[in-house]
Structure 1
Amino acid sequence: MNVAADWLARSGIAVPSRADLIEAAVAGGLVLLMLAVGVAAGRTLGPRLVDWWTAHAGRTASVLRPRLSAILRHGTAALLLALALAAYPWSALAGVPIGIALGAAAALTVHHLMRGVGIPRWASWTVEAIVFVALFSRAVGGLEPITRTLDAIGVTVGSRRLSLLALVSTLVTVVVLIALVRLSTRVLGHSIEGARALDPTQKILAQKIAGIAAVVIAFFFGIDLLGIDLTAFAVFSGAFGLAVGFGMQKTIGNLIAGIILLMDRSIKPGDVIAVGTSFGWVNKIGVRAVSVVTRDGKEHLIPNEDLMTREVENWSYSDRNVRVRIPVRVPYDCDLKQAQALMLKAAVDSPRVLDSPKPNVWLTAFGTDGVEHEILAWISDPESGVGNVKSDVLNRLWWTFKEAGIAIPFAQREVYVRGWEAAREPSPRP
């Protein structure tokens, strides 16, 4: 023991005293105890936290649910270790086990939180490394040497200094704010979605406003946290804002148009609309475009501005009932009353045709090949398609016409030839 102490003294390394060793042993015991408390908290309170989060976070729960027990375990240990570090002036030797455990627990907590909200791995690992180094340095003697070194590496541009310390601070602030914005928007979105006082359109509008508000608040909070003076960029920001305004006028126009559509409720998710050649039901009203799903399963993304400036047919704006016109032609020599009764029966027997308003049969014209009719039938689910209703009614009508002996007329032409015999005689030769 004396030989080792003499070697350390000759090497310039301070020999720990008996009191330092005892204090380090106590710190190690506290570390083990607090890690055990963290494990116990994760096992006992973790399932309850998972149930609570599933009930209050909705779709977000599926992302963070597998990580909640680990977050609670490491977070509890990190909190207890931080309290222990602040409660007593530990020596550098005793601060080593506390610093290692505190840095590792905090880094693991940050890892599960950031990965749970979709932060990329490289950003998550960078922040974890910074958190570990900062907390470990704080435990063994302070951050001043590290911050002084990082601040010394940099350049001065005008009246501002760009250093490695500023870069690290900016990176950590941006990543943390992005994670908080993602988490808050998802939780707020689920809370708004569960509000019974709002209809679906108002819920979408409230979710979009809440998302924009969260981004704006995070932006100004980050500017204040980083100490960036916006007055220095007044002239530049004016010119830049003008350029961005011209370049993004379509994007901003689509954003405002989408908000107006949600506010006046002229187009809502679930409505059946026709815009130009696109026909289908509205799946989602986004920031830039409206998603319209056709009966073929294709999803058309129509810019919000087009729905504000072009003519749009909304089949379910004030009433979901839609009238379907089915043209039918019967021959002139049939029993017209019987044919019309069979047309009405085919419409009534179709399962999607409504009983009220009642279907009807109109005689529309005396055509060249037969008597023209239209079967007028009402449906209440246009998103399920219109062509299949016509097909069902016409199929039923085909078999009822067959049973009644009524033929379906088709185009026929009769040619009358006059002077046939004269045409067959040979013309006299000159």
Structure 2
Amino acid sequence: MEQDVTLAPEEQTSELDRIAGAERQVTGGLPEGEPAATTDIALGIWDRLVTFIESLTRPWVAYQVAIVLVLLVAAFALSYILKPRFYDWLKTREGWSKLRYRYGVMVHRRMPLILFTVMIWSVVWVMQSVTWPSRSYILDLLANLALAWLLVVIILRVVVNPTLRAFLRYGLWIWATLVITGLRDDAVSLMDSMALNFGETRISLWMIAQAMVLLGLTFAVTRLLSRQADARLKRSQDISPSMRVLFGKLLQVLLYTSAFFIGLRIIGFDLQGLAFLTGFIGVGLGFGLQKVVSNLVSGLIIVMDKSIKPGDVISLGETFGWINSLGARYVSVVTRDGKEFLIPNEDLITNQVVNWSHSDKYVRLDIFFGTAYGDDPHLVRKIAVEAAQSVGRVLNFPKTPVCHITGFGDSSVDYILRFWIEDPTGGLTNIRGNVYLALWDAFKEHGISLPFPQREVRMLEDSSTN
């Protein structure tokens, strides 16, 4: 029966160091400087894991595992009680910034991890003060691991994109676990041994993993800087709306391009090795990305020539609305009924677009009507102008309503009433309807009739019946 022997502090050796010695015996036959074979590295990692699992049967390890299980159950049980109350309290917070709300939601979702981290560190501090460090080795390992995971969650909360945030979170969790458990060097060697050579370029699994995590981090930082710069540009009153969009797009392209190449340089990737990819990129642009590139270039043209800018009212085919935003690939147009159309930039370049507010904000509308021949046309024109001026959105200065005779019809004298508005975003159909109602009321008040076609049916007797 194995006895639990208490070692002096100077005689204590960490479990991972002892296992590392066993692993060195497995791979020790390799010459110095020569990378170990993939099989040898994998066998070494497996031997360390088996040795660690076998150590769990020792009494001083088993009770640490039992303590961890109790703490896990306590953390989940306590979070089950506290989470609804914290959520109700969080809903009462008014005036908080978006970042504070995000961290509040993070605390609500990660409450079991937070509680477990606090409780296991408390247990570790108590046990290290009353017993040998070897008696709390597993607890100390898991406490550092829980704290590292929690710090990763807290730091990555600033990343807005949920997909990118999840990718970085799991990547950093895996990396922190390998570092804390002492498996980092072995894992790096194993992934680095799995490589493909393209001439002088060597691409390993470790390089790909590095690239994914580091590029994700650089793009996250770039996205944060881009959002901050874009917000500052939107608040600037010295720059026109179209130039704000242009500067924002150019800044995004510059930042993301710089982030891509900086990430590759951090990894140590030889940028000269990318030269052979230019041919494939050219083919892809010529075939698969033709529409994408066309929309990107069209978007830059729209912004540079200032033909369309946010807030303009446009008509494109059956779509009528105002520009909500200019994107790199499309333009967002919001209609009066709340529908948002995403129109490709290329369509705005190649098709006929009516911009109701391109050169100025004034829009002219026309209404056609007719009156009976017995009504005085001078009086009709005067009444029509006064009726249009009585509608709230119709301008009286500097553009004034006018009424003209357009012709003599079969049963009426035909007129056109022209008036101006300066807020086309408020709708065109509704203002026409209001002017028509004003005309109806004014003509009814002055006894002016609105003729309509009348037909007379005459029945002829059949001569054969006489």
- TM normalised by structure 2 equals 0.67
Change (3 A) 1:280 1:351: same
Q: Which moved more, 1:273-282 or 1:119-128?
A: 119-128
Q: Secondary structure at the match of 2:328?
A: coil
Instruction: Tell me the percent identity.
Output: 33
Q: Secondary structure at the match of 1:247?
A: coil
The letter of the residue matching 2:172 is E
The letter of the residue matching 1:218 is A
| Partner of residue 380 from structure 1, selected from 408, 411, 422 | 422
Q: 1:231 Cα shift?
A: 3.0
Deviations 1:119-155 (A, max 9, x none): 43652442232342354257xxx95444334434x24
Change (3 A) 1:182 1:107: farther
Change (3 A) 1:325 1:64: farther
Structure 2 equivalent of residue 17 of structure 1: 9
Change (3 A) 1:412 1:4: closer
Structure 2 equivalent of residue 117 of structure 1: 160
Alpha-carbon distance between aligned partners in 2 of 1:405 and 1:209, rounded to the nearest angstrom:
64
The letter of the residue matching 1:112 is I
Contact 2:265 2:271 in 1 (8 A): no
Alpha-carbon distance between aligned partners in 1 of 2:103 and 2:302, rounded to the nearest angstrom:
33
Q: Secondary structure at the match of 1:190?
A: helix
Alpha-carbon distance between aligned partners in 2 of 1:393 and 1:334, rounded to the nearest angstrom:
20
Q: 1:270 Cα shift?
A: 0.9
| Partner of residue 250 from structure 1, selected from 288, 291, 297 | 291
Change (3 A) 1:352 1:251: same
Pairing 1:21-420 to 2, within 5 Å after superposition: 54=97, 63=102, 104-115=146-157, 116-120=159-163, 122-136=166-180, 143-152=184-193, 154-158=194-198, 161-356=202-397, 357-413=399-455
Structure 2 equivalent of residue 83 of structure 1: none
Q: 1:377 Cα shift?
A: 0.9
Alpha-carbon distance between aligned partners in 2 of 1:287 and 1:256, rounded to the nearest angstrom:
9
Alpha-carbon distance between aligned partners in 1 of 2:101 and 2:228, rounded to the nearest angstrom:
12
Q: Which moved more, 1:399-408 or 1:361-370?
A: 399-408
The letter of the residue matching 1:312 is V
Alpha-carbon distance between aligned partners in 1 of 2:10 and 2:226, rounded to the nearest angstrom:
54
The letter of the residue matching 1:378 is W
Contact 2:316 2:352 in 1 (8 A): yes
Alpha-carbon distance between aligned partners in 2 of 1:144 and 1:426, rounded to the nearest angstrom:
117
Q: Secondary structure at the match of 2:226?
A: helix
Contact 1:364 1:374 in 2 (8 A): yes
Change (3 A) 1:355 1:19: farther
Structure 1 equivalent of residue 36 of structure 2: none
Q: 1:404 Cα shift?
A: 2.2
Deviations 1:303-342 (A, max 9, x none): 2122222222211111111111111110001233332222
Alpha-carbon distance between aligned partners in 2 of 1:102 and 1:195, rounded to the nearest angstrom:
46
Alpha-carbon distance between aligned partners in 2 of 1:156 and 1:306, rounded to the nearest angstrom:
44
Q: 1:158 Cα shift?
A: 4.8
Contact 1:363 1:371 in 2 (8 A): yes
Contact 2:156 2:169 in 1 (8 A): no
Contact 1:60 1:187 in 2 (8 A): no
Alpha-carbon distance between aligned partners in 2 of 1:321 and 1:350, rounded to the nearest angstrom:
16
The letter of the residue matching 1:211 is Q
The letter of the residue matching 1:409 is P
The letter of the residue matching 1:401 is F
Q: Which moved more, 1:267-276 or 1:302-311?
A: 302-311
Alpha-carbon distance between aligned partners in 2 of 1:169 and 1:235, rounded to the nearest angstrom:
22
Q: Secondary structure at the match of 2:333?
A: strand
Deviations 1:222-264 (A, max 9, x none): 2212222243343343133233333212211211111121122
Contact 1:295 1:385 in 2 (8 A): yes
Alpha-carbon distance between aligned partners in 2 of 1:349 and 1:336, rounded to the nearest angstrom:
20
RMSD over aligned Cα, in angstroms?
3.9
- TM normalised by structure 1 equals 0.72
Alpha-carbon distance between aligned partners in 1 of 2:455 and 2:187, rounded to the nearest angstrom:
99
Contact 1:361 1:373 in 2 (8 A): yes
Alpha-carbon distance between aligned partners in 2 of 1:103 and 1:425, rounded to the nearest angstrom:
112
Contact 1:96 1:136 in 2 (8 A): no
Alpha-carbon distance between aligned partners in 1 of 2:10 and 2:273, rounded to the nearest angstrom:
57
Q: Secondary structure at the match of 1:196?
A: coil
Deviations 1:47-88 (A, max 9, x none): xxxxxx95xxxx7776567669x99xx9xx9xxxxxxxxxxx
Contact 1:365 1:372 in 2 (8 A): yes
Q: Secondary structure at the match of 1:228?
A: coil
Alpha-carbon distance between aligned partners in 2 of 1:364 and 1:155, rounded to the nearest angstrom:
82
Alpha-carbon distance between aligned partners in 2 of 1:376 and 1:217, rounded to the nearest angstrom:
55
Change (3 A) 1:99 1:385: same
Structure 2 equivalent of residue 40 of structure 1: none
Alpha-carbon distance between aligned partners in 2 of 1:287 and 1:395, rounded to the nearest angstrom:
44
Change (3 A) 1:4 1:100: closer
Contact 1:282 1:290 in 2 (8 A): yes
Q: 1:96 Cα shift?
A: 8.6
Change (3 A) 1:105 1:212: farther
Alpha-carbon distance between aligned partners in 2 of 1:322 and 1:275, rounded to the nearest angstrom:
17
Deviations 1:178-204 (A, max 9, x none): 322322222222122222322222222
Contact 1:64 1:117 in 2 (8 A): no
For structure 1, list consecutive stretches of 5 or more residues without a partner in the other structure: 9-14, 22-52, 78-91
